[in-house]
Amino acid sequence: MWLLGFLWTSSGIFIGGMIAWLFKGIKQRANIIYALCTGVILGLISFEILPEAIESGGWLSTIIGFVIGMMVFTVLHGSSHFKQGKESYSKEKYYIRTGLLLMLSFAVHNFPIGITLGANQEPVLTKALLQTLLFHSIPEGIILFIPLILAGLNIFTVLLISFLVSVPVALGVFIGSFFSIVHPLLNTAFMSFAMGMIFIVTVSEILYPALNNSSVFKILCCTLIGFGVIGYYLHLL
């Protein structure tokens, strides 16, 4: 089961990476791409992660985990050797930093999914969870790989990162196999923590620079488009 979870997750992320690969060579439109990605990420949080976290552990646990996630990002961001000023580092390093922070956030998010999959004993639900892993990993792959591809990373790196981000799923399945049921607060803790990190990375590393380098109206319109597209996509699943 851990292998299936790993393969389905990495396949979805890799497919998303291949879609993101289509954006290679259009760095001049990076702000628009980032705005669309912002909408997609905020949509994932609004339509998928937030409702699931609240249903699992309630508002209070979700808010606490969310705040802790943002605080951890602040610490990681502050300890980074990259500086905030635009002139202090190249665009390539900026894209790589953004991609790595998103990679960490999605890896944390994938861990409780693996635990749930490992603890589940119903074949029908297992099949549904595997399908969810595949299709929900595709937009995550697009979001994750756009900054990395804009930084000039090659296809082999895309494949490697797909595997790395999927490792927490396999680890979660292994741990979850020892439990007959997953405590709701554990799910909420991981989901809300990841949600806080994803949110603050999105706002500070993706949306804010895009707003500074392009028309506010254009960026907000593209963000709304991305938000609507992912909402429709998740509705179809």
Q: Is the pTM of this model over 0.85?
A: no
Q: 58-114 pLDDT, tens per residue? A: 899 889 989 988 888 777 666 654 444 444 456 777 778 788 888 887 777 777 777
DSSP per position, the chain? -HHHHHHHHHHHHHHHHHHHHTTTT-GGGHHHHHHHHHHHHHHHIIIIIHHHHHHHHHHHHHHHHHHHHHHHHHHHHHHSSS-SSGGGS-HHHHHHHHHHHHHHHHHHHHHHHHHHHHH---HHHHHHHHHHHHHHHHHHHHHHHHHHHHTT--HHHHHHHHHHHHHHHHHHHHHHTT-SS--HHHHHHHHHHHHHHHHHHIIIIIIHHHHHHS-HHHHHHHHHHHHHHHHHHHHH-
- State the total domains in the chain: 1
Structural domain containing residue 188: 2-236
Q: In this predicted model, what pLDDT tens digit does every residue of 134-186 receive, in sequence order?
A: 766 777 787 788 888 777 777 777 778 888 888 888 888 888 777 655 667 77
